Amino acid sequence: MRRISIDAFGMNHPKETAFAATRRRRTPWYLSRPRLLTTCVFFAVLYLWLKLGDTTVPIPEDSYALVEDESLKDILNTTLGFQKILVLNLPYRTDRRDSMALAAATSNIKLDYVDGVTGESINQKAYPPPDENIKLREGIKGSWRTHMNAMQRVVEQNLTTALIFEDDVDWDVRVRANLQRFALASRFLSENKESLSSKYKIENVPNTETSETMFHMLSPNGITDYLPSMPLSSIGTKGRHYPKHKHHDSPYGDPTKWDILWIGHCGAGFPRHPPTSSSKSPLTTSNLILTHSNDATVPISKYLKSHPFQDALDPLAPAYPPHTRIYHHATGGTLCTVGYAVSQRGARRLLHQFGLKHWNNIYDAEMGRWCASEDEKEDKEGKEYRGMERVCLTTQPPIFAHHHPLNGESDIGGLGGGYARKYETKYLRYSVRMNLERLVQGSRDGGGLVDQWPDD
């Protein structure tokens, strides 16, 4: 009788005698173990080579120079020590959002986005006084409203601090070390109000800024003959003067004592004498400059120029030795809002000032005038009216800067006018954007990151 079997698929077929013989002749499992082991080892080595092979990119050793300071460790988190990082992005500029996502991922930074708006989409009833602002260019109006949307987000969510980025921002791979040093300066400059003359050794550096070289969005009033300066190291590091604050969470100092940390810009003037003081007034932090010498993240002097059409170098270049970074109050005029932080207090003040009270110019110029108190007027009785002290702090050169992409044309006119068409990022040596392919792909040719502004 012919024997029939049913296979796994339900098909009937004869059960061949040869099939049974074949099954009996299979290689015993214990004889295949060496071959199996060799195969496993091969694939394990291949996996490790693909995952951990020559894909690392050398990072400068000073990237986390101050990490041992307990009060600065929050800067190592994914929001750089702020509650949130908000990126201003027009929804149709997906190219910029893609680039931002990659740059942030390579730096372990977490972003939240605020949708930008165009000037055409703003109803005329939404503008604050004066009526003339309706006639401003559409791009200026859209930029203003987008920044106001960011301030609105900070206020509505009751954020203690927030870092605001424009979507063409760039930073050095050593950004956290830069921010740690800035945090030390920020605490000192915002929380010390008393006279400094008797406590610290101050050096008076000749001021190279003049009424001709200053940013003309401000009046020349208050330009000093000298720049009172002292080293950042003299205020104490490693938490000796600044233990971990118990009443707030910000490593940058008490957020109730500062408004704006203007750490991404395209030029800043030196601090001016406060309007209520004179050259004979006791020295305070209001016009003090803290210096950090031999900073490897700072290009040599000839590269300290924010725009290709700028006639002269930044005043920082001739005033201080090469590779010097400085920190001070932003009362001398600051331009470009590529990156700045606000406290809750600062966001409320900016939203009130520019969202409700008055706005009639390019947003960064208006904010620069606000930080310098240039907008304050005399009241009807002839008495000078001044609100609460405005505390805006900055650093030169900036920690964040505009990136000009490959084959792209910036529609933001810089100092001197014109368009920036060259593929570069000013001020930043180991730029994340300029090294993005190396950071994303890994360096397999033995090369490291490219320093776009190397020493001679």
pLDDT in tens, 184-198: 999 999 988 877 867
User: What burial class does residue 30 get, using C-beta atoms within 10 Å of its C-beta: 0-12 exposed, 13-18 middle, 19+ buried?
Assistant: exposed
| Backbone conformation region of residue 108, classed left if phi is above 0, alpha if psi is from -120 to 50, else beta | left
What's the CA gap between 150 and 84, in Å, rounded? 11
The reported pLDDT for the residue numbered 408 is: 59
Higher pLDDT, 380 or 233: 233
Closest CA to 250 of 331, 152, 166, 341: 341
Q: Where are the alpha helices (DSSP H) in 61-123?
A: 94-106
H/E stretch holding 164 reads: strand 161-166
How many CB atoms are located within 10 Å of the residue 91 CB? Answer: 10
Distance CA 315, CA 301 (A): 10
Q: Is the peptide bond before 130 cis (omega within 30 degrees of 0)?
A: yes
More confident residue, 7 or 104: 104
State pLDDT tens for residues 139-161.
Answer: 899 999 999 999 999 999 999 99
User: What local confidence, expressed as pLDDT, does residue 133 receive?
Assistant: 79
Model pLDDT, residue 10: 42
Assigned token pair, 200: 């610290």
pLDDT at 434: 94
- Angle between helical axes of 138-156 and 363-371 (0-180°, round to 10): 60
Residue 452 burial (CB count, 10 A) = 18
In whole angstroms, give the CA distance from residue 449 to residue 426: 16
Residue pair 165/96 in contact by the 8 Å Cβ criterion: no
Residue 379 has pLDDT above 90, yes or no: no
Residue 163: which residues within 8 A CB-CB, separation 6 or more? 79, 80, 82, 84, 85, 86, 339, 340, 341
Q: Is the dihedral of CA 169, 170, 174, 178 positive or negative?
A: negative
The full DSSP string for 75-92 is GGSTTTTSSEEEEEE-TT
- pTM exceeds 0.85: no
Express each pLDDT in 285-311 by its tens digit.
998 999 999 999 999 999 998 876 667
Q: Where are the domains of the chain?
A: 4-52, 65-376+387-441
pLDDT reported for residue 382? 42
